[in-house]
Structure 1
Amino acid sequence: MADASTTLNYVLPKDGSPGICDYSSPCVLLPSDTFIRIAYLRERMEESDNLKVRAEVECSMLDSTSFQESFRRLHESPVGRDFTLVSSDGTEELVHKAILIARSPVFSAVFESNLSESQTGRCTIDDVASSVLDVLVKYMYCSCSDKDVTEKAKEVLLAADKYQLRTEQCELNLIGQLAEGNIVDMLLLTDGVAAPALRDASFRYLKTNSTAVKSAGVIKSLCEQGSPQLVAEIVTYLLPA
């Protein structure tokens, strides 16, 4: 945990309208009775007055590096693992149910609904290979390396979308790979999964490289393979403002 100090300046109008708060840190902790005391003072002000509060505040902010390191150690520890994920090729991955619940709305719903997976403590993911499942699990434990993502970015993105996991690492990796030879595949990928950053970057690539894209028949390929909504969005985006 990293400590920080900030000065809070708060102007509270007598008429009860919202005050103006100006402070140098997004994390401010005040005593629980602060607003009671402010209300008490407000009642005793003249109608034309404003209550001005100035306070020196000590606050604590979570160290993200320490946070990730803690989850990495949890991923490497065999202690407390109480659920098994099974890949399409039969490889088993022991995980913590609490991590699945916290990271995936889909898994959370499975356990809340008391489905068979919750009863057996096992879930078979038929369309995810063991190499992809390994990266997906690492991502849920915040211990996924850039190398892991580079090798399986597209597959992990597809698997993550199935369980409503946002994988910004995968999107950034794929954005770095955008090229004339794969722009159609990238756009078609975003047509089926929630990857807003990759979709926006792909649209910008089309516009920036419009001449090369047209000569390569990209628009024609998208019209043949993409959804009507995707094609309409691309055409609208490329049209002059």
Structure 2
Amino acid sequence: MSNMNYTIRTEGQTKINTLTWTVPNFVNLLENKSTREFRTDKLETVGNVTGSRFQLKIQFLGRDNDIIEIYYLSPNPVFLKSILTICLKRFEERSIVIKEYHTVQGNKWQYLATLFKRDIASYDGRDTFLLSDGSLRLKFQFMVSNDIKVDRANVPETQLSHDFENLLSNGLFSDVTMKSAEGNEYKVHKAVLASRSVVLKAHFEHNTIECHTNIVESPLEAEVLIEVLTFIYSDKAPRVDEIPERLLAAADFYQLSRLKSLCEEALHKRLTVESAIETLQLADLHSAKILKQLTLEFIKDGQAKLITKTVGWAKVKSVDLIKTIYEYIMTDDIEADIK
């Protein structure tokens, strides 16, 4: 029996459907020559959303199920971008397919990707595409645009992000100056800052010093501040993989939720036994709930004993943090004993 986790969120004009599909004992499924197809059940939406959700299926081809094809079905005609990610051991992920925006028919199975048995069920101990319990976990993201009426085949890519980034770099029509902790000055625009950050918006809403001087003093160092401004203007974070810790603190300070999510993702990708405690402390400090959850799962997934031997563990002074780790690790064991 497979397990499906389904979430829907909206970013601007785009609705993002995220499906995490876990198929247990996948090797056994491959060895069963009578199995030619495996699919998710038809899932009805909940809340105020009408219609059915996306469905998924796997088809096994070849005499020995050597080829695995993956398909999806949309309940309605949509204009979408699709991303398929395979979840590996130790919470690593690998994007294996990215299909840019295109029109998809409703209620018709669409081909997405091909996997090979040799990569999934290698018998030399690698099991590259399987989790430690032998399950196959696939994550699908379907980014659906609200407008499917326009044929975008010959329409140039949007320049909005680029144009706003130029507005930052040339300072044209700027009406406020933002200063870094070292005193570096950046010519910026009240309307842009206020529309992106409620914290910056507050500087200009009331009878504040910033309103009178048109100068905003930031506690961030120049290296971090320019990255934050770049994100505010372009929605891009070029150095998020280089300085995710510092950007996470900055995103939390200015309440930039998307930048915060990007930082959490970057920190999750670089999670190791040595960095787990520091990452957990950082997540707790900046209320990064997703990163905290993922780090606790990483610790629980057979890493706890190794982590207690690290430098980070030796420096832990927070009793609450140790208590949190202990309670998270012990939860399933206690529930299992009760049952």
- TM-score class, shorter: 0.5 to 0.7
1 or 2 for the larger relative contact order (CA 8 Å, sep ≥6)? Answer: 1
Q: Which runs of 5+ in 1 are unaligned?
A: 3-17, 28-56
Corresponding position of 2:229: 137
Q: CA deviation at 1:159?
A: 1.7
Alignment of 1:216 onto 2:307: no
Q: Secondary structure at the match of 1:123?
A: strand
1:233/1:71 Cα in 2 relative to 1: closer, same or farther (>3 Å)?
A: farther
AA matched with 1:157: L
Q: Distance in 1 between matches of 2:207 and 2:255?
A: 19
Matches within 5 A, 1:11-26: 24=76
Corresponding position of 2:253: 162
Q: Secondary structure at the match of 1:85?
A: strand
Corresponding position of 1:187: 280
Q: Distance in 1 between matches of 2:313 and 2:297?
A: 14
TM-score normalised by length of structure 1? 0.66
Alignment of 1:172 onto 2:265: yes
- Alpha-carbon displacement from aligned partner over 1:167-205 (angstroms, at most 9, x marks no partner): 222222211221122212111111211322321221121
- Alpha-carbon displacement from aligned partner over 1:137-177 (angstroms, at most 9, x marks no partner): 1111125344x223322112112211111222222221122
Q: Secondary structure at the match of 1:94?
A: strand
Q: Distance in 1 between matches of 2:190 and 2:78?
A: 32
Q: CA deviation at 1:107?
A: 1.2
AA matched with 2:328: Y
Structure with more of its chain in helix, by fraction: 1
1:236/1:83 Cα in 2 relative to 1: closer, same or farther (>3 Å)?
A: same
CA RMSD of aligned residues (A): 3.2
- Does the 8 Å CA contact 1:103/1:140 hold for their aligned counterparts? yes
- % identical equivalent positions: 24
Q: Which runs of 5+ in 2 are unaligned?
A: 1-12, 14-47, 53-74, 80-146, 333-339
1:59/1:234 Cα in 2 relative to 1: closer, same or farther (>3 Å)?
A: farther
Greater Rg over alpha carbons, structure: 1
TM-score normalised by length of structure 2? 0.49
Matches within 5 A, 1:221-232: 221-222=315-316, 224=317, 226=318, 228=320, 230-232=321-323
Q: CA deviation at 1:60?
A: 5.9
